[in-house]
């Protein structure tokens, strides 16, 4: 099934040089910071049923700061490929910047339904919970990441701070010290240790 989808995409690009040229121009314009021209190049070949174009325009609109429009295009990509996780990761950026944490949480949960051990989704969901002061929920996400990657600095640090917020100081101290093993210069880990000792 995956091979067939890849073959179709490759064939489409080879058979439609205008589409390929539009993407090439879009990437060039993005590198120059000219997001409107990057979007315009794709709109010149726009097709509502093109997952790739909708996804790419969603990203470019986000970079331009058009959060609502960006979410509209990401939603089109999600509607076209409901099991794909990349548009769900994509829509989380403008949704978070827009202050729609409920939508961000929903997207990460949907990703985790498809890929239960996706550490990026687990970590980001944990971070949203943490900054929303939902520490018990954050703890569950960060613990899953640390169980999969026991020496991942960012996850160790976030789990340590989460444990600290939950007043689980002994566990927090162990985790801050592990984070310090990864980065002996870590100011955040040193701060956490200092608050506990």
Which of 150, 91, 75 has the alpha carbon at shortest distance from 124? Answer: 91
What distance in Å separates the CA atoms of residue 34 and residue 73, rounded to the nearest whole number? 19
Give the pLDDT confidence score for residue 8 in this predicted structure. Answer: 46
All residues at 6 or more sequence positions from 11 whose CB lies less than 8 Å from its CB, including other chains = none
Give the pLDDT confidence score for residue 15 in this predicted structure. Answer: 66
Give the pLDDT confidence score for residue 184 in this predicted structure. Answer: 97
What distance in Å separates the CA atoms of residue 123 and residue 136, rounded to the nearest whole number? 14
Give the pLDDT confidence score for residue 16 in this predicted structure. Answer: 80
Give the pLDDT confidence score for residue 7 in this predicted structure. Answer: 40
pLDDT tens for 10-24 read 445 566 889 999 999
Alpha-carbon separation of residue 183 from 153, 178, 187 (angstroms)? 8, 9, 9
- Write down all domains in the chain, each with its CATH number in brackets: 1-116 (1.25.40.10), 118-197 (1.25.40.10)
Give the pLDDT confidence score for residue 12 in this predicted structure. Answer: 56
Low-confidence stretches of the chain (pLDDT beneath 50): 1-11
Helix (H, G, I), strand (E, B) or coil at 186: coil
Global pTM reads 0.86
Give the chain's end-to-end CA distance (angstroms, integer): 56
């Amino acid at each position: 099934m995956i091979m067939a989808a890849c073959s179709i995409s490759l064939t489409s690009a080879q058979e439609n040089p205008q589409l390929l040229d539009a993407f090439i121009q879009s990437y060039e314009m993005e590198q120059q910071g000219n997001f409107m021209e990057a979007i315009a190049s794709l709109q010149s070949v726009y097709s509502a049923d093109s997952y790739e174009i909708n996804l790419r325009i969603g990203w470019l609109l986000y970079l331009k700061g058009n959060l609502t429009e960006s979410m509209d295009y990401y939603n089109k990509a999600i509607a076209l490929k409901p099991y794909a996780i990349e548009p769900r990761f994509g829509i989380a950026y403008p949704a978070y910047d827009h202050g729609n944490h409920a939508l961000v949480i929903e997207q990460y949960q949907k990703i985790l339904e498809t890929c239960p051990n996706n550490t990026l989704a687990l970590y980001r969901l944990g971070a949203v919970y943490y900054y929303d002061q939902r520490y018990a929920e954050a703890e569950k996400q960060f613990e899953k990441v640390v169980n999969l990657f026991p020496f991942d600095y960012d996850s160790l640090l976030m789990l340590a701070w989460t444990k600290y917020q939950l007043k689980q100081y002994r566990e927090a101290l162990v985790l801050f010290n592990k984070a310090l093993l990864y980065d002996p210069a870590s100011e955040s880990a040193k701060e956490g240790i200092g608050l506990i000792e």
